Amino acid sequence: MPPRTQCGGFSTRIQTFLQPTTHHDMPKLTIDNREVEVPPGATVLDAARKLGIDIPTLCQKDGLKPATSCLACMVKLVGPGKLVPSCGTVAAEGMQVESETEEVHHVRRSALELLLSDHLGDCLAPCYFGCPANMDIPQMLRQIAAGDFAAAIRTVKQDIALPAVLGRICPAPCEKACRRRAADGAVAICKLKRFVADVDLACEEPFHPACKPATGKRVAIIGAGPAGLAAAYYLAQEGHACTLFDRNDRPGGRLRTEITGEELPRDVLDAEVDTILRLGIEVHANTAIAEGPAELRNESDAVLIACGATVKEQAESWNIETVKRGIAVKQGTFETNVGGVFAAGNAIRGKGLVIRSAADGKEVAVAIGQYLQGQAVTGPQRPFNTRIGSMDAAEFAPLLAEAGKAARLDPPGGFDPKDAVEQAARCLHCDCRKLRTCKLRKYAAEYGADPRRYPAQRRRFELQTDHPQILYEPGKCISCGLCVQIAERAGEPLGLTFIGRGFNVRIGVPLGGRLDSALQKAAAECVGSCPTAALAWKAEEGP
């Protein structure tokens, strides 16, 4: 492991790398062999931005002094052969700079990995990984808690095509992963999903996702069970024409043959299937595909086998390779050994949860879409994530204190709106409050940074909540100092400061003060400028 640098002292040492500048009227320099002219005093970062080059920055903000502490913006000066921070290096006449080379990217990646080694936070909540469909559960819960049921169903259906069905029969693996489970019972995620789905189905016009213009591509899907229906739902939204072929007289597959009407009322199943078919999906019922994909391949651009557990001999008669559990597919892409033919659901698993089959349908739709567009077939991209892991009672307490206090309810018939709002508010908001805007996460994903590259002893989780509008998580702070400068510029009487020395330096309130006293004027700007979610709004959209 490389030696750790002192956050406070690095900016001083880096000055030895900075080059003297000659103040021409408008200095010209080249970045990656592209010439650019900038005003006197402009930095290399300014010049790169003028060329449209996105150099990562975490500790830089226009109008503030460059801290040069995060090292994410490093570039190489070709003549001296030195690496310097672009945010603090003044552009000079004739300067030759390299930005987008493997060497520079490696340095930036290492800098990001060092920051991640000391970063404590869940990008995605544990329930996200507990859900086979990787649904954005915390977002759904916040929308229900706010009474915005229409937004909640849109969130659900981004990842789950059959939420009313699954809200009744899913064994709720997401709830087993819920962090609140160990305290006073998991959030009732599954029944809350059922609640918004039922509310939607009861509308005169249930949610109908927008579909892109027709691509002219056709997909034949063998099997109209959970995997086939889900795949058709997401492919249709991308503009691809889908036809379901099923040997039964009605779509639904094992939802009709293996699950009783008491567990899953048929009117609910019919209504939810109808919301999928309304996207223009054709159904050929009572149609067995004896010859398999070959029978459909000439009339389709791609074929999906989603007909449930497939007899091995049958699949082999279709010239498709098999393994013990079913049809053999390439991991992550669902491709079979036959070009343009994919398989998903129990056709590849033998036996699995309905939610797993529905998740397969969503994921294989991505892979098929890539194939139809002539792209490399890689399947869904896995999101970048860091994890806190297990928390002890003391660490857990502030999260619980900020969440709704209601006891878990589990009524057999589902929730009424009042109870749904109250139950959804029990969510601890384990996911990052800047999930979509965190710059550390954005650049870590872009540069392929590995948060486990430099193992370090995990910080203790802290959550400071004494400010009426914002939260502070010291474990997410990268000590960039932007908030310190902003508070000083705003004339905060107390403000924020660096506390500690070396690698253990942290941002905090001077003299052990409270956050509400420290940020009376500059809270909004500090939250907006924080490159992680160390400072974040308590409410989703701020005050």
**DSSP structural state of residue 498:** E
What pTM did the predictor assign?
0.90
Sign (positive or negative) of CA dihedral 315, 319, 324, 329: negative
Let me know the angle formed at the C-alpha of 111 by 487 and 126, rounded to the nearest 5 degrees. Answer: 80
Check: CB of residue 418 under 8 Å from CB of residue 411: no
Count Cα atoms within 13 angstroms, Cβ side, for 4.
17
Query: Tens of pLDDT along 207-232?
Result: 999 999 999 999 999 999 999 999 99
Q: What is the CATH number of domain 126-206+388-424?
A: 1.10.1060.10
pLDDT at 25: 81
Extended beta strands in 440-493, E state: 470-472
CATH architecture of the domain with range 7-117 = Roll (3.10)
Check: CB of residue 350 under 8 Å from CB of residue 309: yes
> Residues near 471 by Cβ (< 8 Å), separated by ≥ 6?
402, 433, 463, 464, 465, 535, 536, 537, 538
Q: Which residues pair with residue 520 across a beta bridge?
A: none
Question: What is the C-alpha to C-alpha distance for residues 119 and 475, in angstroms, rounded to an integer?
Answer: 6
Identity of the amino acid at 10: F
pLDDT at 94: 95
Residue 26: CB atoms within 10 Å: 11
* Strand pairing category for 470-472 and 535-537: antiparallel
Question: What is the C-alpha to C-alpha distance for residues 62 and 223, in angstroms, rounded to an integer?
Answer: 56
Give me the residue spans of the domains in the chain. 7-117, 126-206+388-424, 218-372, 460-537
Check: CB of residue 322 under 8 Å from CB of residue 312: yes
* Strand pairing category for 218-222 and 241-245: parallel
Check: CB of residue 506 under 8 Å from CB of residue 499: yes
Q: Do domains 126-206+388-424 and 218-372 have the same CATH topology?
A: no
426-464 per-residue burial string, b: 16 or more CB within 10 A, e: under 16: bbbbbbbbbbeebbbbbbbbebebebeebeeeebebbbb
Residue 121: CB atoms within 10 Å: 25
Helices (H), 118-252: 126-130, 137-145, 149-157, 163-169, 173-177, 181-184, 189-201, 226-237
Count Cβ atoms within 10 A of the Cβ of residue 260 and give its class: 0-12 exposed, 13-18 middle, 19 or more buried: exposed
Name the stretches of the chain with pLDDT < 50.
Answer: 1-24
Check: CB of residue 142 under 8 Å from CB of residue 540: yes
Question: What is the C-alpha to C-alpha distance for residues 380 and 344, in angstroms, rounded to an integer?
Answer: 14
Q: How much of the chain is in helix, strand and coil states, percent to nearest 5? A: 35, 10, 50
CATH architecture of the domain with range 218-372 = 3-Layer(bba) Sandwich (3.50)
Query: Tens of pLDDT along 138-177?
Result: 999 999 999 999 999 999 999 999 999 999 999 999 999 9
460-537 adopts what CATH topology? Alpha-Beta Plaits (3.30.70)
Question: What is the C-alpha to C-alpha distance for residues 48 and 36, in angstroms, rounded to an integer?
Answer: 8
Within its chain, how far is the Cα of 274 from the centroid? 29
Count Cβ atoms within 10 A of the Cβ of residue 543 and give its class: 0-12 exposed, 13-18 middle, 19 or more buried: exposed
